[in-house]
Amino acid sequence: MSDTTLNGSPQDTPRSGPSGLARFFASVALLRESRVGMIGAGLVLIWVFMALLATLNSLLVDAGVLQLGIVFPPNATFAPIMPPFSEFIVRAGTTINEMPVEEICSLIASGENEGSYNCGTFWLGTDHLGRDIWARIFYGSQTVLTWAPIATLCAYAVGIPMGLAAGYKGGWVDDLLSFLANVILSFPVLVLFILFITLVGASAINIVVAITFASAPGIMRIVRGLTLDLRTREYVFAAQTRGEPTWWILFVEILPNARGPLIVDSMLRLGYVIITIGVLGFLGLGLPPPDPDWGGMINETRQMAMSFPWMTVFPCLAISSLVLGFNLLADGLREVSMRD
C-alpha cells in the first residue's frame, strides 16, 4: 500500500513501483476516504467542466455547428438599440421573449445589431452594460482556469530547480538563493504585482510573469527544506556512488520523493493565485476590459452593488467557490497523505 500513497516510502524510486497512471488512480481512490477532499474535488471539477464547455461552445459556434451556442457570448449586450438604463438591467431569473430565436440568428448572420439580444432567460441577471452575468461567469471560468494553472506551473518551474540546488549544494549557492528569496518574501507581494503591472502593462503574460516572480521564492523554500532532508537518504548516497550526474540525482532521485507535500502545496497555491489574479482584476490591473474576468466584474459593478446586488454577488460566489474547492482539495489530500 505504501508505494501507492501520496508520500510513498522513500525506498521505492519511480522506476520500481507501479506505472505512473496506476499510482495516480490509486491516489484518487484514496481521496475518496476524505469527504472534505471529495467536496473540494467536486467543486473544482464543476468549474473545470464549465471551462471546457465554454471552450467547446465557442469552438462549435465558430465552426458554425451551433448558431447561438448554449449561452450568450460573453460580450453580447441585451440591448437592440440603446434603451433607458433601467430597461436593459434585468434581475436574476428574468425571461424576456420579444423576439424568436430564429430572428436573432438571422440578425446576427446579417451582421446587423451585432452582439445584441433581446430574448432569452437571464438566470443571474445582467450587468450595468446589459451583459448576461451567467455568460460572463461561464466564460470567465475559462480565463481563470487557463491562467492560474499556467502561472502556478511557471512558479514551480522556477522555484523547484532553485530549491533543489539550494538544498543539495548548500554553501554559497544556498546563501545567495536564500537571500534573494528573503528579499522578495519580506516585500509585500501585492505591491510587487502592482508595480510590475503598472510598469509593463496589464496582459495575461505579464500577470504570469509577476506571479512567477513573487511565488517562486516560497516554493524554493519548501523544496529546499525537503531536499535538505532527502539528500541524506541512502538511495541518494547510492546514486552518488554509482556516479550519476547531479541533475539526475536532483530530478529523478530527490524530486519524485518530495512530491507529497508539493502536491498539497500546489493546490493551496492555485487557490491563492486565483485570489491574486482576482485582486489584480479588482484593482483594475487585471486582464484588459472586454474579456470576462471575475475580479474585474466585481470591480466594475461594486459601485452598483447597493442597488443591483446580483451583479456583484454572483462573481464573488464564483471566485470564492473555486478557491474553496482548491482549499478543500488540499486539506483532503493532506489528510489522506498523513494517514499512513
Beta strand 94-97 with 119-122 is antiparallel
Cell readout for 129 is: 452594460
| Complex with another protein: residue 263 or 317, whichever CB lies closer | 317
Nearest distance in Å: CB 10, another protein: 22
Chosen residue from 124, 216, 262, 328 binding another protein by CB under 8 A? 328
Nearest distance in Å: CB 262, another protein: 19
Nearest distance in Å: CB 36, another protein: 7
CB atoms within 10 A of CB 76: 21
Distance (Å, whole) CA 184 – CA 186: 6
- For the chain, the first-to-last Cα distance in angstroms comes to 9
Angle between helices 259-282 and 310-339 (to 10 degrees): 170
Distance (Å, whole) CA 305 – CA 140: 20
Residue with cell 486582464: 287
Q: Per-residue string for binding with another protein, 301-320, x by CB under 8 A?
A: -x--xx--x--xx-xxx-xx
Under a CB-based contact definition with an 8 Å cutoff, are residues 8 and 336 in contact? no
Of 9-17, 131-139, 235-243, 274-282, the segment contacting another protein by CB under 8 A is 274-282
Chosen residue from 69, 271, 286, 292 binding another protein by CB under 8 A? 271
Nearest distance in Å: CB 224, another protein: 17
Distance (Å, whole) CA 128 – CA 315: 14
Cell readout for 210 is: 509577476
According to DSSP, the residues that pair with 131 across neighbouring strands are 77
Cell readout for 261 is: 507535500
By CB under 8 A, how many residues form the interface with another protein?
42
Hey, which residues between 63 and 102 contact another protein (CB under 8 A)?
none
Chosen residue from 120, 125, 278, 292 binding another protein by CB under 8 A? 278
Cell readout for 315 is: 462573481
Q: Per-residue string for binding with another protein, 160-199, x by CB under 8 A?
A: -------------------x--xx-xxxxxxx--xxx-xx
SS3 label, residue 122: strand
| Complex with another protein: residue 99 or 317, whichever CB lies closer | 317
Chosen residue from 327, 333, 336, 337 binding another protein by CB under 8 A? 327
| Complex with another protein: residue 68 or 316, whichever CB lies closer | 316
Give the rounded distance of the alpha carbon of 119 from its chain centre.
Answer: 33
Distance (Å, whole) CA 270 – CA 262: 12
Chosen residue from 155, 282, 286, 337 binding another protein by CB under 8 A? 282
Hey, which residues between 19 and 48 contact another protein (CB under 8 A)?
36
CA atoms within a 13 Å half-sphere pointing along the CA-CB vector of 117: 26
Distance (Å, whole) CA 87 – CA 128: 11
Q: Per-residue string for binding with another protein, 199-238, x by CB under 8 A?
A: xx--------------------------------------
| Complex with another protein: residue 44 or 76, whichever CB lies closer | 44
Q: Which residues bind another protein (CB under 8 A)?
A: 36, 179, 182-183, 185-191, 194-196, 198-200, 271, 275, 278-279, 282-283, 295, 298-299, 302, 305-306, 309, 312-313, 315-317, 319-320, 323-324, 327-328, 331
